[in-house]
Amino acid sequence: MIQFLVIGSGVSGLSLALKLASIGKVVVIAKTQLSDANSPLAQGGIASVTHGGDSFDKHIQDTLVAGSGLCNKEVVVDAVEQAPSRIKDLVQWGVNFDTCNLDTLSLTKEGGHSKRRILHVADKTGLHIHSQLLARVLEHSNIELKENLFAMDLLTSLETNPFDPSDVQCFGAKFLHSQTQQQITLLAQHTILATGGSGKTYLYTSNWSGATGDGLAMAHRSGAKLANLEFTQFHPTCLYHPHARNFLISEAIRGEGGILINSKGQAFMKNEHPLEGLAPRDIVARAIDKEMKRSGQDNVFIDIRHKSKSYLQERFPQIFMKCLEHGIDISKDPIPVVPAAHYQCGGVLTDKFGRTSIQQLFAVGETACNGLHGANRLASNSLLDCLTSSHNVYKHIGSKSNNMDISKAKLHTPNNEKHETITSEINDDELILVTHLWEEIRRLMWNYVGIVRSTQRLRLAQSRIQNIQNEIDQLYSHFHKHKNIEELRNIALVAELTIKAALKRKESRGIHFHMDYPEKNKTAINTVL
């Protein structure tokens, strides 16, 4: 039996693996290649108090304000106060943050922050951190890496009382090899979901292709509690170009003076918020959405032409080159941008130590809802969350002795009796149907469960997703397991749960804006499913 099974190879999974490896054997599962995750796409940086002009109290307050009353303050305080130590971990693992000189960190400012506190590596912070962690993991003798394994379902047991959900224990998971289609069962004493988010549920997203909410779907099918799925953060500024639909234009561009303008060159954010383009993301995304609807235009622009070409090439090399590839010289041309689904603030419900409602099952990073982000994530708190939530799981597991006895457990996977008669291999025609259903879900979510919502739109979405679920059940019942079908049923389930959560929240809070309930309720309550 594996001691620590970490499902996911982003910053959360890799940083946790490095720490757990000091106390036992770790197996890290990658859905595709180890380098594929959302983490390498994080451009902006990581938030941490590093200088005397800033303070923990200010970072805490900024996080609470962005979270719109729904943050767990204990978790926020813990993460903010841990941040300098987690930065030291990264430095020890080989991460080299940008500096102004040999002794002073180069700090930028992003939306919702009262101080410059974002550490960065040009505009590819996530990529640099991820590559350094991966290099350390690859050379660690106590860590085993497995690629191309799609996590299908958790392996659980109702060991003593099938009528008491609190008695459910996790003993690992079942996987499908995406190339051979072979099914693999891995038993584990501790299973950690580090599977990332669900941005691919939406038509436009900044996420990588594998962000299909697999951890959420698996956890829900096994009976784990999920929370606050209605809070999908839409990043205000993704590059608007037919050949670059998921390329993010970092908030740091606005932090360094980039101005949001419309097609007439007007800086429209001046009328929306005192912080203008550096207002919290929910406000900026809604303002852009309103401006696009008012003008009838497909996008707005970021104007940073007042900065020199040499500065832009040095500070934002990745953005500069990507835009140039598509005929946009950001030193001469404004950057066309649109909002896109970016980050889920909800997830598998956990406490500060990553514990879920299923024993021996943990969740970290974007997969988890631990209360740090509340109703709207503060910019650059995501990489911080990856490190602090993983560190807390490590601290908790390292301080506990494990007494799991699998010998008497009757292992169970969701619906494992339902599809025993499957005999058919899926063919190209059915795979085309899978693609069409996926695209229908993503367009449905974008049109009806997007930046601005209404009861009518949500109910229409709920009705249609139920019909789609019936079609997916037919596919799932007639064919052998296939990665494409597994992903399809996961995004359909996450979409269904997101709609259900959005209908339950009869108010506007953070990134959930409801036209029929435009005011915020006096009491902030989590939506638990």
More confident site: 302 or 123: 302
Mean pLDDT throughout 185-210? 95
What is the widest separation between alpha-carbon atoms in the chain? 70
Average pLDDT, the chain: 91
Q: How many CB atoms lie within 10 A of CB 257?
A: 11
Residue 481: per-residue pLDDT: 81
Answer whether residue 166 shows pLDDT above 90. Answer: no
Residue 416: per-residue pLDDT: 47
Residue 317: per-residue pLDDT: 94
281 has catalytic annotation: yes
More confident site: 408 or 168: 168
More confident site: 425 or 387: 387
More confident site: 320 or 278: 320
d(CA 88, CA 500): 41
Strands, E, within 300-410: which ranges? 300-303, 335-344, 347-349, 361-363, 368-369
Mean pLDDT throughout 489-507? 97
d(CA 229, CA 526): 10
Mean pLDDT throughout 110-115? 91
Q: How confident is the model at residue 425 (pLDDT cuts 50, 70, 90)?
A: confident
Which is nearest to 120 in space by CA: 92, 142, 96? 96
DSSP string, 36-88: -SSGGG--S-EE---STTS-HHHHHHHHHHHTTT-S-HHHHHHHHHHHHHHHH
Answer whether residue 410 shows pLDDT above 90. Answer: no
d(CA 170, CA 5): 11
DSSP string, 397-431: HHTS------TT--EE-TTTTTTTT--BPP-HHHH
Residue 154: per-residue pLDDT: 95
The ranges assigned to domains in the chain are 238-342, 414-514
Which helix (H) or strand (E) element contains residue 119?
strand 118-119
Look up residue 99 and give its DSSP letter: B
Answer whether residue 411 shows pLDDT above 70. Answer: no
d(CA 95, CA 90): 5
Answer whether residue 236 shows pLDDT above 50. Answer: yes
Q: How confident is the model at residue 525 (pLDDT cuts 50, 70, 90)?
A: very high
How large is the C-alpha radius of gyration of the chain?
22
More confident site: 252 or 193: 193
Q: What is the percentage of the chain residues whose pLDDT exceeds 90?
A: 79
Q: How confident is the model at residue 456 (pLDDT cuts 50, 70, 90)?
A: very high
Residue 79: per-residue pLDDT: 98
Residue owning tokens 């996530």: 126
Model pTM score: 0.91
Answer whether residue 408 shows pLDDT above 70. Answer: no
For 11-38, what is each residue's pLDDT tens digit? 999 999 999 999 999 999 999 999 999 9
d(CA 209, CA 6): 20
Q: What phi and psi values does residue 359 have, to the nearest 5 degrees?
A: -65, 140
d(CA 472, CA 469): 5
Residue 417: per-residue pLDDT: 40
Which is nearest to 351 in space by CA: 83, 154, 155, 72? 72
Answer whether residue 161 shows pLDDT above 60. Answer: no
Look up residue 160 and give its DSSP letter: S
Tokens (6 digits) for 86 = 């987690």
d(CA 124, CA 184): 35
Residue 420: per-residue pLDDT: 44
Mean pLDDT throughout 96-118? 90
Tokens (6 digits) for 460 = 């229409």
Annotated catalytic residue, options 86, 117, 221, 281:
281
Answer whether residue 421 shows pLDDT above 50. Answer: no
For 244-273, what is each residue's pLDDT tens digit? 777 889 888 999 999 999 999 999 999 899
Residue 418: per-residue pLDDT: 43
For 168-178, what is each residue's pLDDT tens digit? 899 999 999 98
- Spell out the CATH class of 238-342: alpha beta
Residue 181: per-residue pLDDT: 84
More confident site: 418 or 499: 499
CATH code assigned to 414-514: 1.20.58.100
